[in-house]
Amino acid sequence: MKKIVVFASGSGTNAENIIRHFKGGSVGTVVSVFTNNAKAKVIDRAKNHAVPVEIFTKSELYEDVLVQKIKAIQPDLIVLAGFLLKFPDALIAAYPDKIINVHPALLPKYGGKGMYGMHVHRAVVENKEKESGITIHYVNENYDEGAIIFQKQVTVLTTDTPEVVAEKIHELEQKYFPGVVEDLLTAKS
């Protein structure tokens, strides 16, 4: 059974969707959720599925303690699902091609520092883009620049608000993200 560690900073809907997807299956399981936000809804979502939660501070993220906690778990894949901090170089070096992220745009457009959530959707609408989507990519030392694993597009109408675009993107994440995680785990078998 492959071990998945999820990092999340907010509501945790993508994290919960991944937990549900693998629950009772034979491919993998979410063994832990890590969060930098002690008030994040992802904590309750994980606990509702009996998944252990590790809460850490921003400074702890870049200290050896967190690296050691991850190494003790020995995950097969680390999944960033709405995790907003830059991932530490020490963990990236320790887990090459084993850390993935979902981004709410079609990279390389609308990526980089500060481009997350509604910031992305506002930019898409303001720039009158005809499409947006999701990108699932490997994490490297630069924001949103790792190799692309998967992209899926959705049409953006001229009448769409950033909130409508956000709903469309969330639907794509919910539909495709768990399957891509599973494909990666089975490919690494």
pLDDT tens per residue, range 62-87: 888 888 999 999 999 999 999 989 99
- Burial, 138: exposed, middle or buried (Cβ in 10 Å; 0-12, 13-18, 19+)? middle
| pTM as predicted | 0.96
Q: What string of DSSP letters covers 85-153?
A: SPPPHHHHHHSTT-EEEEESS-TTTT-STT--HHHHHHHHHHTT-SEEEEEEEE--SSTT-SPEEEEEE
Taking every pair of C-alpha atoms in the chain, what is the biggest distance, in angstroms? Answer: 50
pLDDT value at 188 more than 70? no
Which token pair is 107? 């990279």
Handedness of CA 44, 49, 55, 58 (dihedral sign): negative
101 is in an annotated binding site: yes
Task: Give me the active site residues, please.
Answer: 103
- Contacts of 87 by beta carbon, 8 Å cutoff, 6+ apart: 7, 80, 99, 139
In the chain, pLDDT over 90 holds for what percent of residues? Answer: 90
